[in-house]
């Protein structure tokens, strides 16, 4: 049976050419970029080239890119780094109710240490209201962090507008762009952000490597201390193979982006329309158009998300319910609850995230298989019986 992977928002396979490009840096070109002899300089040249490629993908300058161990470290560094660097100015952070755990938990860490955080509510589509941002800013606010697109429901926030409000108030702005970098056109100057997080494994690079864009002049207290790499902003010997992989993944994503956005948007909309047509009591979560080209998230009433996932898996189809981190726990997704869904609607949610190797036939297969699974589960469902 052909396996159909539709969980690209959780992670993506590294592209074969990315893996090939990384391999020499484990063996013959293994040097430490800080060494001044030729081995080291070869490695340094590879890191420099990757930095240029990553900068080009987001319209940044090379010196504004700091390599990290992934999206989580980029988020932690941005929040803790800016909070500590601005402690004398204030102790207030603004964020949204639907952030990734890497941002939520970092805010909680800071809240236990004297900071306060405002968690902005979102509307039923998952959108932050710019007026709420304006109203939440106080004389103590030092940082606003709102994600570019949500990993569960795919809603794309009006970041340029939110960042403008922050700039006018003299507040730094960070965005977690892990779901958008390499997926949709993105320019840090057009967005007007001061900090932006990305992660290689979400766009066909390797796991365990990412980057933080830090706009020139943004004060940031380093998180990792040691040898002073990355212009003292992130110590530790560079993950050269990982950085090379991130760089090539960024370059390929940039070159192929327009075509992929068009292709995936078509597949996404076909899947959404097909699910609505073939299954009763299905609602789309997130926004119809302000949405990642690869994200489909629906609530199927009177069915458990986990049961649908397991039954889809038996058919060779990989999808998810909530985010990868929250599946396996019984807590409904904080994102869906923030959008106003009832607990049972949140529990009946399914996310299909499409990607490079998703084809029309895969969409058809899901549409052929899922209606039967839903009918079968509903026939056994105590949720449905109690409604009758």
Ligand X SMILES: *Cc1c(COP(=O)(O)O)cnc(C)c1O
Q: Which residues bind ligand X (CB under 6 A)?
A: 70-72, 75, 100, 102, 147, 151, 176, 178-179, 199, 201-202, 210
Q: How far is the CB of 268 from ligand X (least distance, A)?
A: 17
Q: CB of residue 382 vs ligand X: minimum separation in angstroms?
A: 34
Which of 155, 381 has the CB closer to ligand X?
Answer: 155
> CA angle at residue 93 from 168 to 157, to 5 degrees?
65
Burial class (CB in 10 A: 0-12, 13-18, 19+), 27: exposed
- In this structure, the strands spanning 349-353 and 295-300 are antiparallel
| 201/378 with CB nearer ligand X | 201
246 token code pair: 């991130």
* Intra-chain end-to-end CA distance of the chain, in Å: 38
* DSSP-assigned beta bridge partners for residue 214: 195
Q: Are the C-beta atoms of residues 151 and 172 closer than 8 Å to each other? A: no
CA distance 334 to 321: 12
Burial of 1 (0-12, 13-18, 19+ CB in 10 A): exposed
Nearer to ligand X, 179 or 295 (CB): 179
With respect to ligand X, which residue has the nearer C-beta, 73 or 301?
73
Nearer to ligand X by Cβ, of 102 and 308: the residue is: 102
Q: To the nearest whole angstrom, how small is the minimum distance from the Cβ of residue 176 to ligand X?
A: 5
Q: Which is nearer to ligand X, 205 or 305 (CB)?
A: 205
CB of 202 to ligand X, least distance (A): 6
Q: Which residue is nearest to ligand X (CB)?
A: 71
**Separation CA 376–CA 62 (nearest Å):** 55
Contact (CB, 8 A) for 71 and 246: no
Least distance between ligand X and beta carbon 23 (Å): 21
List 107, 318, 325, 339, catalytic entry: 325
Instruction: For residue 322, give the nearest of 157, 304, 5 by alpha carbon.
Output: 304
CB of 177 to ligand X, least distance (A): 8
Does the annotation count 107 as an active-site position?
A: no
Give least dist CB 22 to ligand X, A.
Answer: 17
Which amino acids are annotated catalytic? Answer: 325
């Amino acid at each position: 049976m052909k396996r159909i992977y539709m969980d690209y928002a959780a992670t993506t396979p590294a592209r074969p050419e990315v893996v090939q490009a990384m391999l020499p840096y484990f063996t013959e070109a293994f040097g430490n970029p800080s060494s001044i002899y030729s081995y080291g300089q070869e490695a340094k040249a590879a890191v420099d080239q990757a930095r240029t490629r990553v900068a080009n993908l987001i319209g940044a300058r090379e010196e504004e890119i700091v390599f990290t161990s992934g999206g989580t470290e980029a988020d932690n560094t941005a929040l803790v780094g800016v909070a500590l660097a601005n402690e004398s100015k204030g102790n207030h952070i603004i964020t949204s109710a639907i952030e990734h755990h890497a941002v939520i938990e970092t805010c909680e860490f800071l809240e236990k240490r004297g900071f306060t955080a405002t968690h902005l509510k979102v509307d039923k589509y998952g959108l932050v209201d710019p007026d709420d941002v304006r109203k939440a800013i106080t004389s103590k606010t030092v940082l606003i962090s709102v994600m570019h697109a949500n990993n569960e429901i795919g809603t794309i926030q009006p970041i340029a507008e939110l960042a403008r409000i922050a700039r006018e108030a003299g507040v730094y702005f960070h965005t977690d762009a892990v779901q958008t970098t390499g997926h949709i056109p993105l320019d840090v100057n057009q967005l007007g952000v001061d900090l932006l997080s990305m992660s290689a494994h979400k766009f066909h690079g390797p796991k365990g490597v990412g980057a933080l864009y830090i706009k020139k002049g943004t004060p940031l207290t380093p998180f990792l201390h040691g040898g002073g790499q990355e212009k003292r902003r992130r110590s530790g010997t560079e993950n050269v193979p990982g950085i090379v992989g991130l760089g090539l993944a960024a370059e390929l994503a940039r070159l192929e982006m327009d075509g992929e956005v068009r292709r995936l948007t078509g597949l996404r909309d076909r899947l959404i329309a097909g699910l609505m047509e073939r299954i009763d009591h299905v609602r789309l979560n997130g926004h119809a158009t302000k949405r990642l080209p690869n994200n489909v998230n629906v609530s199927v009433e009177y069915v458990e998300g986990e049961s649908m996932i397991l039954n889809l898996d038996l058919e060779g189809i990989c999808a998810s319910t909530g985010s990868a981190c929250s599946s396996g726990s019984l807590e409904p997704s904080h994102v869906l609850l923030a959008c106003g869904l009832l607990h049972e609607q949140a529990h009946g949610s399914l996310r299909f995230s499409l990607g490079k190797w998703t084809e029309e036939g895969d969409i058809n297969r899901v549409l052929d298989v899922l209606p039967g699974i839903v009918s079968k589960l509903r026939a056994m469902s105590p949720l449905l019986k109690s409604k009758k």
